[in-house]
Amino acid sequence: MAAYAQPLRTSVLAKITLVATLLLVAVGGFTRGSESGFGCADQWPLCQDGLLGGLLPRWEYHMVIEWSHRWLAVLVGTLAIATAISAWRHFRDRSMVLGPAIAGVVVIGIQAWVGRLVVKGDLAADLVSLHLAISMTVVALLTVVVVATTVPETGPRWSENRRGWTIRVEVAAAALFLLLMLGSMAHNRYFPGWPLMGNTLLPDLPDLQSVAHYLHRLLAGILLAYLVYLAFSSNKIDVADGERRLIATAGTVYLVNIGLGAAHVFTMVSSAFLVAAHLGLAAIVWSLLVAAATISALVEHGHATR
């Protein structure tokens, strides 16, 4: 029992770190949506003219939001380090646990540096999108750690009719990642009409941001249809109940998020809470799809059982 408890703690720690990271993504969305990204001016990691030399914020809305985002990031980094240490102690012989756990710490370090560049670069849009892309990389790495510490270590390969299933799930995850990036590029720009921009199939697209938003909506519809296809096709092949639930949950959360996207348009992109919820749910769908793809890959290569 004691020998089992230590690896179990690694799994629990990885799950806590993943949840904290998803929360950080949502808070980051709120920070951007409320235009609080410059709340601490161009100072990093402390806040300009804050209390205790900038260690604490003044009681000002934008500064408190940005300060909260930064210190939640510190918490995530601390949890990630603890997860990596635990993985080193208890899963040193499992590369699917140790590798992503250590990589997560490294990527979070890079993320912190890019966060500094975002602040010093006056919140440049390309750097903000890069910041989000790295955040999703962290989410993916932590998701792999959670899955790898949860599923059984070894098992037989499954039947041949699973061939290609892993690739199909990976395609869904890749599409979701692209959707996130397109959304980031078009963020905080209001385009009337929903689900069609300007209520027309081929709207005027005068700039790159308009093109990104058009592609975002187009891909959102295609991905919804693809997730429905995955959910139905999972019932026809030898897919574990856990994988099937992950796909179904991803599709359900994704559908809810489409509703939030519509609300975002109807409120003329004025609600920071909708921005946070929309981004947060998208990150959850990303994590669910990465988890499903990871389980499928482990099963396909004979490293996991039902």
- 147 C-beta neighbours (distance < 10 Å), count: 25
Predicted pLDDT of residue 7: 63
Q: Among all chains, which residue has been given the structure tokens 């009719």?
A: 161
- CA pair distance 62, 108, nearest whole angstrom: 24
Q: Could you give the percent of the chain with pLDDT greater than 90? A: 47
Give the model's pLDDT for residue 162.
Answer: 62
In whole angstroms, how far apart are CA 295 and each of 138, 269, 306? 18, 37, 10
For residue range 69-78, list pLDDT tens digits in order: 888 999 999 9
For residue range 90-135, what is the model confidence (pLDDT) as tens digits?
898 888 899 999 999 999 999 989 888 887 776 677 888 898 999 9
**Sign of the torsion formed by the C-alpha atoms of 17, 18, 20 and 21:** positive
Rounded Cα distance between 71 and 77, Å, is 10
User: Residues 32, 269: contact at Cβ < 8 Å?
Assistant: no
| Model pTM above 0.85 | yes
Compute the radius of gyration of the chain from its Cα atoms: 20
Cβ neighbours of residue 121 under 8 Å, at least 6 residues apart?
Answer: 127
**From the CB of residue 254, how many other CB atoms can be counted at a distance below 10 Å?**
24
pLDDT at 53 over 70: no
Query: Phi/psi at 51 (nearest 5 deg)?
Result: -75, 155
Q: How many angstroms separate the Cα of 27 from the Cα of each of 127, 128, 160, 290? A: 17, 14, 43, 22
Burial 100-133 (b: 16+ CB within 10 A, else e): bbbbbbebbeebbebbeebbeeeeeeebbbbbbe
Per the rule left: phi > 0, alpha: psi between -120 and 50, beta: everything else, 49 is left
Q: CA nearest 282: which of 136, 167, 169, 143? A: 136
Distance CA 303, CA 143 (A): 17
Tokens 């997730």: give the residue. 227
Residues 14 and 73: their CA atoms lie apart, in Å, by 16
Least confident of 146-160, 189-203, 239-253: 146-160
How far apart are the C-alpha atoms of 78 and 71, rounded to whole Å? 11
Structure tokens at 129: 């999108």
Least confident range from 147-156, 214-223, 281-290: namely 147-156
| Rounded Cα distance, 108 and 80, in Å | 8
